[in-house]
Structure 1
Amino acid sequence: MSQPPEQSTTEINKHVVKEFIQAMGRSDGKTASACLAEDAFTLAKGFGQFAGVREYDTIVGTIDAFNTLLPTGLRPEFVSFTAEGDRVVVEFEGNAETCDGKPYHNQYCMVFTLAGGKIKQVNEYFCTKTADEVLWPLVEAMSSQIP
């Protein structure tokens, strides 16, 4: 993971988050894992199959599985970045085609908390109905491949 030279902690944190989301979009678990603290976790808010907590191994395993699940990549289109201290909030849209040829379009807002230049926590907000309808059957079928 590359870090821009001589920037504020807030700017470095924004860079780390952007690099993480871009790695997620291209199913690059190695780069994504370099952005995460070893005790990192995500908390998908809301209801449905995707709601809940996922820890480091599952985060990285899921990102690696995206190349099977979403062969076109998630292709994140950033809408906004807001950062203050150790928190970065990102709005983006994800657009992909699933492995069974269905379009997947969703909007995301993620609240990242970082420490020492690494992501510690991610609160995820997205349309769980869309994710459940389009992605969950595919995720369930490949669940043995995700830690």
Structure 2
Amino acid sequence: MAFPSLQPFRAGLVAVAIFASFALTPRPASATEFASAGDRNRHIVSEAFDRWANGGGGFFDELLAEDVIWTIKGSSPSAGTFRGRAVFIDKAVRPFQSRLSTPVRPVRKQVWAEGEHVIVQWDGEGMARDGVPYRNSYAWILRMQSGKAAEVTAFLDLAPYDEVLRRVPEPVSGAPR
């Protein structure tokens, strides 16, 4: 009795082996998959800073939890604790931004993360409405929760910040900047 050729059977086995090798080969992690919570949080904060540096708006709305607790360390009148994103923006961000003709943008940054904590050391530059450049260095410690900063402790040289608030008058409400 004649046996059919084993050639088609062998070809089928080779095809199955090739398919299995591709299916079992580990694939590289995508940008949304991270080895740890720290890696994920570092990525979230780094990407938000990059968008801000490239001219994007809405940094604080994007990164801060609605009920964030933001503390500016120091002994000047600008230091203090702000409870809630809206309060922080109204009491600290807007009064400063209103005195600038060019908003502060990060020009250099370093980011470290461990678990839910992210530390960002960054240098920012902008232009006050009176034509005097504003430059400052910052260190922010963020505690992340569900992809948003729930608590932030900010360190900066408050002298240049306060100088802008003192030197440049706040624009009259409704007046063009």
Q: Which residue of 2 aligns with 1:100?
A: 130
Cα separation, 2, equivalents of 1:143 and 1:11: 44
Unaligned runs of 5+ in 2: 1-30
Q: Which residue of 2 aligns with 1:39?
A: 67
The offset of 1:53, in angstroms, is 1.3
**Letter of the structure 2 residue corresponding to residue 6 of structure 1:** E
User: Is the 8 Å Cα contact of residues 19 and 32 (structure 1) preserved in structure 2?
Assistant: no
How do 1:34-113 residues align onto structure 2 when only pairs under 5 Å count? 34-54=62-82, 55-61=84-90, 63=93, 68-113=98-143
The offset of 1:136, in angstroms, is 4.4
Q: Which moved more, 1:97-106 or 1:85-94?
A: 97-106
- Give the SS at the match of 1:100: coil
Q: Which residue of 1 aligns with 2:160?
A: 130
**Letter of the structure 2 residue corresponding to residue 43 of structure 1:** T
TM-score, length of structure 1 as denominator length: 0.77
Cα separation, 1, equivalents of 2:95 and 2:81: 18
User: Is the 8 Å Cα contact of residues 28 and 64 (structure 1) preserved in structure 2?
Assistant: no
- Give the SS at the match of 2:41: helix
Q: Look at both structures and tell me which one has the larger radius of gyration over its CA atoms.
A: 2
- Give the SS at the match of 2:40: helix
> Could you say what the CA RMSD is over the residues aligned between the two structures, in angstroms?
2.9
User: Is the 8 Å Cα contact of residues 45 and 125 (structure 1) preserved in structure 2?
Assistant: yes
Higher RCO structure, 1 or 2 (CA under 8 Å, sep 6+): 1
User: Is the 8 Å Cα contact of residues 142 and 152 (structure 2) preserved in structure 1?
Assistant: yes
User: Is the 8 Å Cα contact of residues 98 and 171 (structure 2) preserved in structure 1?
Assistant: no
The offset of 1:80, in angstroms, is 1.8
**Letter of the structure 2 residue corresponding to residue 83 of structure 1:** A
Distance 1:136 1:6, change over 3 A: farther
**Letter of the structure 2 residue corresponding to residue 17 of structure 1:** V
Kindly, what percent of the aligned residue pairs are identical?
A: 29
Unaligned runs of 5+ in 1: none
Cα separation, 2, equivalents of 1:130 and 1:136: 10
Number of residue pairs aligned between Structure 1 and Structure 2: 140
